[in-house]
Amino acid sequence: MINRHSPGSTRRLTLGADKGYDSADFVAELRRMVVSPHVAQKARHSAIDGRTTQHPGYALSQRRRKKIEEPFGWAKTVGGMVQTVHRSLERVRAQFTMTMAACNPARLPKFLAA
């Protein structure tokens, strides 16, 4: 999807990713493509420097990334999606759909309290 972005466009793209993508070659390739790397920083030897982290958009991107990843963490710990017992793609897809559907009512009291 990033390759479809034209570098000459007036709107700058950002790409959010987890710590696994915090490598010098990946970050350099994003910058070459005129895409801001909103990659979570590793504790040591991070390729993300102050050019990126000083912007308020980086902190916002990291908060949004956390909200997106929370249901997947719930699905792995509570929903049993760490290791599926099903063999076919259709059955795994159905298990994932049911697990994520169950995640929504589990989060509902938190949303109603806000």
What would the pLDDT profile of 12-58 be if each residue is shown by its tens digit? 788 888 888 899 999 998 888 888 888 888 888 888 888 788 888 88
In this prediction, what percent of the chain has a pLDDT beyond 90?
Answer: 13
What's the pLDDT score for residue 81? 86
Three-state SS at 114: coil
Mean pLDDT, the chain, whole residue set: 84
What's the pLDDT score for residue 56? 87
Residue type, 5: H
DSSP secondary structure code for residue 8 in this structure = T
What's the pLDDT score for residue 10? 66
**Least confidently predicted of 30-34, 71-75, 95-99:** 30-34
CB within 8 A of 14, min separation 6: which ones? 35, 36, 37, 38, 57, 61
What's the pLDDT score for residue 114? 67
User: Rounded to whole angstroms, how far apart are CA atoms 51 and 7?
Assistant: 19
- pLDDT of 5 > 80? The answer is no
Cβ distance 16 to 61 under 8 Å? yes
What's the pLDDT score for residue 89? 93
CB within 8 A of 80, min separation 6: which ones? 99
User: Rounded to whole angstroms, how far apart are CA atoms 27 and 19?
Assistant: 12
In this prediction, what percent of the chain has a pLDDT beyond 70?
Answer: 94
Cβ distance 103 to 71 under 8 Å? yes
